Structure 1
Amino acid sequence: MSKSINVRSEIGRLKTVLLHRPGGELENLVPDYLERLLFDDIPYLKAAQAEHDAFAKVFKDNGIEVVYLEDLASEAISDASVREKMIDEFLEEANISGEGNKEALKEYFSQFDNKKLVDKMMSGVRKTELKGHSARSIADMLESDYPFIIDPMPNLYFTRDPFATIGNGVTINHMRTETRNRETLFAKYIFEHHEDYKNSNVPIWYNRNESYSVEGGDELVLSSEVMAIGISQRTDAAAVERIAKRLLWSDSGFKTVLAFDIPKKRAFMHLDTVFTMIDRDKFTIHPEIEGPLTVFSITKGDSEGEIKIEKEEQVLEEILKKYLKQDKVELIRCGGGDLVDAAREQWNDGSNTLAIAPGEVIVYNRNFVTNKILKEHGIIVHEIEGSELVRGRGGPRCMSMPLVREDL
């Protein structure tokens, strides 16, 4: 049965959410290659899975359907020809050199059922797993000290980034780094081949083979008429313009895209690491971005396919009031605006909240200063453990991709 995507706000009551339970990919993190794989530390898998299961339980306890990326991806390749095509594409994007290595990997993958195959693609392949295959080319025979023949994908539990739901469609994203760009292959196969989506005519607002980078942590649906997209360390201005043009000239209902130009640094990796919506008139924000923040409004131009871009001159509260048609807007500052508390809790994703309904959010319990302030503003706060999960530098919004929300 075909299913539809429906996400027309950040705060509408959540009905279906996509997660990825951390797997063997975290056990393929090695200190010497953390930077290459975009990690600062190595989480303990067993504890990370327990924390993630508790995260999933919050959704289930609130009547929210939880679906898993690994399940949808394995179901999407139930047809043998689709499975073979995905393996070929996966190996091509994994930059496997040498025909012998390719053939050995195909033979290795052939022993797995679809679920284990997807798990293995995600976790990566150590060279020791292919011991005994005979070299067939110079490339196969050239040994390096690097321990993997296929890199792991440790960032996958941040399901927010590889694709993003906007209205009734999605962006299948071109990620900034090669390490993460392979993650989007699973979204491609889900929307092209999964029984739930292949006949749903889901609009693709942006695709993974396009040249500019965009990541889902920079894409926020503020209302059924207003999108916010961050120009960040991971998202290019040109990608923002392209998405805006397609959204505004479609029948999606969006009338304005607000482009937030944020500092290009690791602590502010995506817009949602410094700014999230928690109620109709309330937002979390990291105080350090307020000074350098520039906002541009993008609307339809006069001629077909054209867009109009204007720099907004007002402060952020006034911009949000104007476009969200609110009498007042409250910016709740991470750490209460205290320089030390804000910096510490920002590092642990204190501004990265996930709304499951208006004024009801999931947060890490470790950000106690910010959480207390949220409660004082009347927000219902579901606190989860995140000592291991946070080592990947992402919070509850990063770890979730809404597929269906109730309209406000």
Structure 2
Amino acid sequence: METRKIQVYSEIGKLKTVLLHRPGQEIENLTPEYLERLLFDDIPYLKVAREEHDIFANLLRKEGVEVLYLEKLAAEAIRDRKIKEMFLDEVIEESGIVDEIAKREAKNFLLSMPEKGLIDTIMAGVRKKDVGLKEDLTEYPFILDPMPNLYFTRDPFACIGSGVSLNSMRRNTRRRETIFGKYIFNHHPAFKNSGTKLWYDRYNPTTIEGGDELVLSKDLIAVGCSERTDKESIFTLAKNIFENNESFKTVLVFDIPKTRAFMHLDTVFTMIDYDKFTIHPAIEASLKVTAITYDEVKKELIAKEEEGELEAVLSKYLGIHATLIRCGGGDRIISGREQWNDGSNTLAISPGKVVTYERNYITNEILDKHNIEVIQMPSSELSRGRGGPRCMSMPFVREELNYR
């Protein structure tokens, strides 16, 4: 199998290869009683969610993008029996099963399956009755939780430059998601010998998530200090990148409100062209930006708080005249509504060409007026998970930019 390398040095370079996860049975295992536990506000209709997701994948293919699937890569990574057992031991251990009989039964149940079925079942969740255990109506029915957030492939790990940030997730229900990435990069025949560097390890004590990690250029990374990402993690990530001879010179820390509505940086800010960005206006007044650089002589990080408006900071570090395009045109009601449905969460296919949710029609019209080519996709069900096109995609390869 041909070796694959990671190459992501921008948010807008022509997208060549991307990782998705087609929503599965894990969505059907959502119930009102457990929505908060599983980080959902509503229950998507799986049939329609899959149709919408297939449209998303096909429109990417029409643009010449190779689409890979998380579930397929994970299954291919565990074909060896010993690796499969290691994988299962790790998944079961991190599922919090206390009873040794339940652990044994869960492992035997999963080991009896072919690799793809095993991966799909772990993603969907395993009920007590599935492994022959009694299900009390008053108790939680799952011994392995469903993983409904997996269709947001951006978060568990993030491709940056030639390496990967294998993330430590904030919420317990999402921490197992990063195990799939660990086994893909360590054991999949296309990736295990690719020389992919590790910028952050899932076992680190502080948390970071991929929705907060944006690659603005070959010199510049932006990371959100958010509800899900700790400042300590950002400094660890920056130090690892600076010390490993990558091209990046600066990491901008965006300190954003720590609320679910502004969960990650990419829910309120994305790059869509060389000099254009979407932004949710509600973060602008309180936003603080700190620049992290590296002293090669002293071997230490230097942090400096930036002064001035965000346009000026972006213009300074990117060498352009930055334009911020406000979600909903800055109108309080419109921007609030469209932001809730990820109006600022765009996926750039190439400079000035983006995928958005069709329901955010006001923001889409404004993007069009700024000469951005907008490819709209249906989103009545996918949007119920509180994530947009960027959240649902993890670029593995982007063409390097020819700077203007």
Pair in the same fold by TM > 0.5: yes
CA distance in 2, matches of 1:107, 1:304: 53
Whole-angstrom CA distance in 2 between matches of 1:40 and 1:126: 22
| Counterpart selection for 1:286 from 254, 262, 280 | 280
Q: Whole-Å Cα distance in 2 between the matches of residues 269 and 106 of structure 1?
A: 34
Quick one: which of 151, 163, 168 aligns to 1:169?
163
Quote the Cα distance in structure 1 between the aligned partners of 2:285 and 2:51. 39
Partner residue in 1 for 2:37: 36
2:249 to 252, 255, 261: 255
2:188 is matched with 194
**Which position in structure 1 is the counterpart of 2:346?**
353
Deviation of residue 112 (structure 1)? 1.0
Q: What is the rounded CA distance, in whole Å, between the counterparts of 1:303 and 1:251 in structure 2?
A: 14
Mark the CA change 1:403 to 1:314 in structure 2 (over 3 Å): closer, same or farther.
Answer: same
CA deviation after TM superposition for structure 1 residue 124, in Å: 0.3
Q: Distance in 2 between matches of 1:144 and 1:83?
A: 34
Residue aligning to 2:265: 271
Partner of 2:295: 301
Q: Is 1:407 matched with 2:400?
A: yes
The equivalent residue for 1:380 is: 373
1:397 counterpart residue number: 390
Q: 1:249 deviation in Å?
A: 2.2
Query: 355, 358, 364: which is aligned to 2:357?
Result: 364
User: 3-state SS of the aligned residue for 1:257?
Assistant: strand
| Alignment CA distance shift 1:132-1:263 (3 Å) | closer
Q: Which residue of 2 aligns with 1:322?
A: 316
SS at structure 2 position matched to 1:310: strand
Contact 1:233-1:265 within 8 A present in 2 as well: yes
Question: Map of 1:1-400 to 2, 5 A cutoff?
Answer: 1-131=2-132, 145-301=139-295, 303-326=297-320, 328-400=321-393
One-letter code of the match for 1:152? P
1:94 partner SS: coil
Corresponding residue SS for 1:22: coil
Secondary structure class of the residue paired with 1:102: helix
Q: Secondary structure at the match of 2:286?
A: coil
Partners in 2 of 1:146 and 1:165 — Cα distance? Answer: 36
Q: Aligned-pair distance for 1:95? A: 1.0
C-alpha contact (below 8 Å) 1:245/1:305 kept by paired residues: no
Q: Number of matched residues?
A: 400
* Inter-partner Cα distance in structure 2 for 1:32 and 1:26: 14
| In 1, Cα distance between equivalents of 2:388 and 2:92 | 31
**Separation (CA, whole Å) in 2 of partners of 1:101 and 1:151:** 14
Q: Is the 8 A contact 1:354 1:362 kept in 2?
A: yes
Which structure 2 segments of 5+ residues have no match?
none
Alpha-carbon displacement from aligned partner over 1:148-204 (angstroms, at most 9, x marks no partner):
111000000000000000000000000001100100000000000000110011000
| Deviates further, 104-113 or 174-183 | 104-113
CA deviation after TM superposition for structure 1 residue 128, in Å: 2.1
Q: Cα–Cα, structure 1 residues 38 and 132, in superposed 2: closer, same or farther, change >3 Å? A: closer
- The percent identity for this pair of structures is 57
Q: Over aligned residues, Cα RMSD in angstroms?
A: 1.2
Aligned residue identity for 2:345: N
Shift of 1:142: 9.3
Separation in 1, partners of 2:109, 2:220: 48
How far 1:304 sits from its partner (Å)?
A: 4.2
| 1:21 partner amino acid | R
Shift of 1:106: 1.6
Counterpart of 1:136 in structure 2 is none
Question: Which shows bigger deviation, 294-303 or 335-344?
Answer: 294-303
Question: SS of 2:238's equivalent?
Answer: helix
Distance 2:323 2:137 in 1: 58
User: After TM superposition, what 4+ stretches of structure 1 lie above 4 angstroms from structure 2?
Assistant: 141-144
Answer yes or no: is the 8 Å Cα contact 1:205–1:243 preserved in 2. Answer: yes
